[in-house]
Amino acid sequence: MNAALFSKLLAEFLGTYALIFAGTGAIVVDQLSGGTITHLGVALTWGLIVMVLIYTFGDLSGAHLNPAVSISFTVAGRFSIRELPSYLIAQLTGALAASETLHLLFPQRSLLGATLPEGGCLQSFILEFLLTLILMIVILNVSHGAKEKGITAGIAIGATIALEALFAGPISGASMNPFRSLAPALVSGHFEHLWIYLTAPLLGALVAVPLFGFLRQEGPSS
């Protein structure tokens, strides 16, 4: 492995670790403290950590931090398929390390910020699909190739995640990231409805690629 690729993978590992640690950590602390952080605070935590990570790692790895984003960038022809498996491994290990850290810090919180539907499964599936579709269109529009970087990207993507978490979080959990849901499930052993959060965000992100191409009048491979 060359030094440049190692730097990218380390950035994806650290970035995904920070994302899951801060985002699901806010949920855990909010539950533990009787709602001190509040739903608004949790939503803002997700948006702010993404914004910070884009400014921190955007120039290095592109700050994907999400397998749905990496896979969609690949389908759009913006990201090398050779690097995709390594990115996915880095993201998954970062997410798992964050959930393990929270488990050590708060062993009494069994769910560790896991995403669970409050209503019906179909309702949450549709929400997660649409939330990620919107998010991916924003990402494709403000990113440079396969890199989420720059002032516009940080603000736009962070604000989108905070906004969607604000209104959809109480219903579906507003995951928009398969590994964000998979890591707490694996560490806590709670796999209820996990299929929703593994499939709906990925489908939503993939559908965003040709839709964005149509809007911009560019093919999926441009």
Q: Which two tokens stand for residue 1?
A: 């492995």
pLDDT on residue 74: 97
pLDDT on residue 199: 98
pTM of the model: 0.94
Largest CA distance in the chain: 52
Q: Which two tokens stand for residue 171?
A: 């219903």
DSSP 1: -
Give the domain 3-106+113-216 fold. Glycerol uptake facilitator protein (1.20.1080)
Q: What is the mean pLDDT of residues 160-183?
A: 97
Q: For residues 94 and 65, what is the distance between their CA atoms, to the nearest angstrom?
A: 9
Q: For residues 208 and 26, what is the distance between their CA atoms, to the nearest angstrom?
A: 29
pLDDT confidence band for 59 (50 / 70 / 90): very high
Q: What is the mean pLDDT of residues 83-96?
A: 98
Question: Is residue 219's pLDDT more than 70?
Answer: no
- Residues 193 and 105: beta-carbon distance below 8 Å: no
pLDDT on residue 85: 97
* Phi, psi for residue 147 in degrees, rounded to 5: -115, 125
- Residues 149 and 59: beta-carbon distance below 8 Å: yes
If one compares 163 and 152, the residue with the highest pLDDT of the two is 163
Nearest to 200 by CA among 139, 140, 138, 127: 127
The pLDDT tens digits of the residues spanning 1-22 come to 799 999 999 999 999 999 999 9
Q: What is the mean pLDDT of residues 166-182?
A: 97
**Segment holding 49, helix H or strand E:** helix 38-57
